A and B are shown apart, each in its own frame.
Chain A
Amino acid sequence: MTQSTQSRSESGLILPSYRRDEGSHPPLDFAGYGSTALRHPKQPLQLLPQYLTEVTGPLLGHDRVGETDHDLTVQHDGEPLGERIVVSGRVLDSGGKPVPNTLVELWQANASGRYRHSGDRHPAPLDPNFSGVGRCMTDGDGNYRFVTIKPGAYPWRNHDNAWRPAHLHFSLFGQAFTQRLITQMYFPGDPLFGQDPIFNSVRDPKARERMISRFDLETTVPEWALGYRFDIVLRGTEASVFEDEEEDDD
């Protein structure tokens, strides 16, 4: 064993270590997004070592996913209104390895920008044929695929004339507690990016771009649906120079 992907104990306990990635994420305190004001911890976060609880995680499986859960357009008797889209991509870790057989959850507003939720007061129509909830598992290569409709933008009261850009919420687990991620997927060229504090809370412009999907002709279904690609990267284990040799040692 050379170095650093793993640490060994006297008792022989060897655990992987997941790379830190704080450079990607927004700060918990972001003045532009009003709801952070009373909800961000003011005390510094304490560094948690990556022990057993942190390097393991729920491996939620196929029993959580129904046959039509990946297709939000077939969950009701009729078809939902709006622009049909296919959203597909890969879930990878920061080492470039696919994350296979992991649960991906998606939720979103309908084409008119309204969620099927009692708390949504936006006076836009609900669609009886759209719930806005999807689930799928990545395959052995980390691929996922959803069929849905493009969500509408909607107003919220964060600031004067505030509108959320169209977005899909994504939930991912990866393989370990350290890898848990909730994010939002945006659409290319959205005119609302400039005024949205949730999107802009991610301070690094390159990191913001990683939340924008890419229109992809290959992903379209001819005469039926437009296609977008959205790859999602979770934290990976620390790579060491000698990783290949270490793997050989196993």
Chain B
Amino acid sequence: MAAESLETTPSQTVGPFYALPDGLLWPDGPDLVPEGTAGAVPLHGRVLDGNGDPVPDAVLEIWQADAEGRFDHPNDPRPGTSGGFRGFGRCGTDPEGRFRFRTVKPGPLPTPDGATEAPHIDVTVLARGLLNRVVTRVYFPDEEQANATDPVLGAVDEDRRSTLIAVADQDGLRFDIRLQGPGETVFFAL
């Protein structure tokens, strides 16, 4: 029997009021690992608009593998998937457009066609003025070799690749997101 085919429900903006008290922003939302976890990485940055002004009403969601490159999920068919690592973080931006997560660097990942993906984090950006989420990826600056052979990075124009690679600074890893304009971040269609 042929499977039923339905059209999907359209996306709409998250608006500015996702941040209602006890709403989308959970107290533990930005923390994928507890404070003091070995290898924990602060991932922080700003969301900026086409004028370079901060976007104070965005919410970012991140999704990633654990340090061994495993997902605790039925669609990860590999044996020995990680137990308990949430892999998901959610953080609203502050009036200066800043966000901050505490996570660990994920491991590299195999692809079905035999390549290896460099460690990366998938990012969803939602905001007033975004009628659909936009999606980007964070790569790591200390993975030069893995980044050089990553199939996703490799398909991005060389002069824009740096928008996907975090920068090490005194506070951890910085990843600024420019929605538009000079240095516009590379966004992906899924």
Contact = CB atoms under 8 A, between A and B. Distances in A.
Contact of A234 (B8, B20, B51, B124): B8
Interface residues of B, number: 82
Contact of A38 (B17, B18, B51, B76): B51
Contacts, number: 269
Interface residues of A, number: 93
A211 B132 contact: no
Given A14-B112, A131-B22, A233-B8, A43 B122 contact: no
B12 interface: yes
A3 interface: no
Given A8-B112, A117-B17, A181-B11, A41 B187 contact: yes
Contacts of A56: 63, 71, 73, 75-76, 87
Nearest to B121: A53
B135 interface: yes
Nearest to B51: A38
B23 interface: yes
B73 A169 contact: no
A183 B131 CA distance: 9
A14, A23, A51: residue with the most chain B Cβ atoms closer than 10 Å? A51
Contact of A177 (B11, B17, B24, B63): B63
Contact of B22 (A7, A97, A133, A235): A133
A205 to B, nearest CB: 11
A95 B113 contact: no
A109 B18 CA distance: 11
A27 B134 CA distance: 11
B37 interface: no
B14 interface: yes
Among B5, B7, B76, residue most surrounded by chain A Cβ atoms (within 10 Å): B7
Interface in A36-94: 36-43, 45-60, 64, 92-94
A163 to B, nearest CB: 14
Interface string B72-90: 1111111000000011100
Contacts of B6: 92-96, 233, 236
A9 B111 contact: yes
Contact of A10 (B16, B77, B114, B151): B114
A9 B112 CA distance: 4
B184 interface: yes
A90 B141 CA distance: 43
Contact of A96 (B3, B87, B129): B3
Contacts of B53: 38
Contacts of B19: 117
B131 A28 contact: yes
Given A120-B17, A234-B9, 19 more contacts: A9-B110, A13-B110, A25-B131, A26-B12, A33-B129, A39-B130, A40-B130, A41-B185, A48-B190, A52-B71, A54-B190, A57-B88, A60-B88, A105-B23, A119-B17, A171-B24, A176-B75, A177-B63, A239-B5
Lowest 10 CB-CB distances: which A-B pairs, in order?
A96-B4, A35-B129, A58-B88, A48-B188, A38-B50, A56-B73, A39-B129, A45-B189, A26-B131, A38-B49
10 contacts: A33-B13, A41-B179, A50-B190, A52-B65, A52-B76, A202-B10, A206-B7, A234-B9, A239-B5, A241-B2
